[in-house]
Amino acid sequence: MKKNHNINEIEKMIIENFPNLSIIKNTSWSKVSTFGIGGAIQLLAEPQSDIELMLLLKFCAKNNIKIAIIGAGSNVAGTDETFNGLVIRIRQGCFQDIKHGRTHITVGAGLKLSELLRYSAKHGFGGAAELAGIPGTVGGAIKMNAGANGKVISDYIVDLFGYHIDGTPWAAEDNEISWEYRDTNIPKDIVVTGCILKFERVDADKELTKISDVLKNRRLIEPKKRNAGCMFKNIDNALSAGIMIDRAGCKGMSVNGMSVSREHANYLVNDGTGTEADLIELCKQVKAAVYEKFNVLLQTEVKFFSDSTVAEIENFPIPPKVAVIMGGDSNEREISLNSGQQVVNALQNAGFEVAAVTLDSPVITPEMKDADIVFSTLHGGFGENGTMQKVLEDAHVNFVGSDSVASKLIMDKSLSKQLADKHGILTAKYQLITKDNSQTLPVELNFPIILKPANEGSTVGIELIENENEYYNAIEKALQFDEVIVAEEFIEGNEYTVAIVDDVAYMPVQIEVPGKFYDYDAKYIHSNGDTNYYCPPQIGNDKLFEKLKEISLKFFRVSEAKDILRVDFIVDKSNNCFFLEANSLPGFTKDSLVPKALAHSELYFSQLCAKLVVSCLKR
């Protein structure tokens, strides 16, 4: 077992082995960071070259010396605890070098991002002026994939280089890195020392003017008190963390010397007396308020140097444990896998602890037993017809969505239409077709008619039949999908869908198809042209929209659905609203209809997924 050294031993070892290394003794986090939080730094090293850095990293790794890496100190919060190790600042020497060729720019990680952009502009390179207001160094911007105004640093990266924390050289090309929102898959132990970028050719004077304008605008909104920039990551780009903090009533909230800025709610500011303990408590209060209002757990952008601080903030409030189930055995398996992965990403963005579970049969897995909530994105088959719901109920596992009885009823289009008829909800005239009566024309119906497998979703197997000659081949094909087919008269009109979440009906989405009706091609493949979705609808008025919402809520309640439902309609020329079908587990990609509807009311994708989980927890 390697020995842990005290600070005096570390100082002696560093001085003996690196006599030319620049060392600052007994400084403070306040002096090396813009936030001004934290106690003493006993040893601060400033290597001047990448070779000196590499040797220092190797030495510290070999001798079990704890290290912390900083740059300009603009996105960090120092610690109140005594840091028994070596703080290494990469802000000098070759780490500030910059040079350009005909098409590329090579820059050290210690150069300020604004200085990189100014240098580039002066030499006719640009297109990234929007990033100029981001404080801090190039290295810091790369590690967090910093961005502003629709641009991110990763848009311009060609190559990266640096070292592992043990001094081993590291390099990567842009396409080897997964660039996420305010995050990357660059290993946590990597110290980025520089990069190669490619900007577009621009007019130097115009680009410099743009940069100047960005910096002026930044100064107008940026608080004057000490801060570390934006404190929390955005959950959804459409609704920023700052807006959520503001709407949760947190502006001006304070804990001793720390407060939420009144100029920009995503800035926590230090009046000069704030401590790390004050910051921790303020972060927790802000997170709790936002969670109460928006059901999401904000995650910090600012880097902390104490593991206990990170854990205390990240685990407050305690993140729900969610198992997202996907896959299944229906024709909609691929759609389900897509939905499931997007829900996993959304809930992780919302700060929840998430396990992705792919199912081939209706079983309970260890991840599902361990979860607080199961979030099903199974479509069709056992996932939607009540089978999976019954398995969850029998195992006493809490899950998002309707119970087994309601799921079976909603999934079965024949039962849904019968329920609608019973409660006075207008439906198209219909007849049920099975193998026994499939060779007889549905004489009660007028052509054209629509054939729908009773227990398929996502418009799988749906067909428009224009005349008697087409009927027999079509019904034989349809019966391959299901034993019961719903044949209903085709209603010419405009198609709408209404989303219901937690007993609230949202603005209808109008569906404009390139063909005669909304079939599988119109929904997914688009070989006949694109389908357009409008929310709010382009056709109709408030009276019609309220009527559609009213009918949808009625079906939601009489079917005893829970949490979420999507209800589909055709509205004819006389504004008669014909109920088509409902979906208890609608598609859950960002392009699906329920997220489109709720985004109109500023309930965006991650928040929508989180709201369903939290509502289920409270039930």
Catalytic amino acids? 332, 458, 524, 566, 568, 581, 583, 587
Structure tokens at 601: 């009311």
- What is the sign of the dihedral through the CA atoms of 476, 479, 483 and 484? negative
Return the amino acid letter for 175. N
For the chain, the first-to-last Cα distance in angstroms comes to 51
Grouping H, G, I as helix, E, B as strand and the rest as coil, residue 396 is: coil
C-alpha to C-alpha distance for 23 and 14, rounded to whole angstroms = 9
C-alpha to C-alpha distance for 48 and 542, rounded to whole angstroms = 67
Structure tokens at 446: 């007028």
- Whose structure tokens read 């210690």? 110
- Whose structure tokens read 């198992």? 323
C-alpha to C-alpha distance for 272 and 36, rounded to whole angstroms = 7
CA-based Rg of the chain, rounded to a whole angstrom? Answer: 30
- Count CB neighbours of 601 within 10 A: 14
Tell me the Ramachandran region of residue 396: left when phi exceeds 0, alpha when psi lies from -120 to 50, beta otherwise.
left
- Whose structure tokens read 């939290």? 614
- Please count the CA atoms within 13 angstroms of the CA of 109 that sit on its side-chain side: 28
**Could you give phi then psi for residue 555, rounded to 5 degrees?**
-65, -40
- Which residues touch 318 (CB under 8 Å, ≥6 apart)? none
- Count CB neighbours of 366 within 10 A: 10
Strand ranges inside 206-320, DSSP E? 226-227, 254-255, 258-260, 268-270, 303-304
Residue closest to 140 by CA, chosen among 175, 118, 106, 114:
114
C-alpha to C-alpha distance for 155 and 195, rounded to whole angstroms = 13
Return the amino acid letter for 351. G
Return the amino acid letter for 546. E
* Beta pairing partners, 430: 488
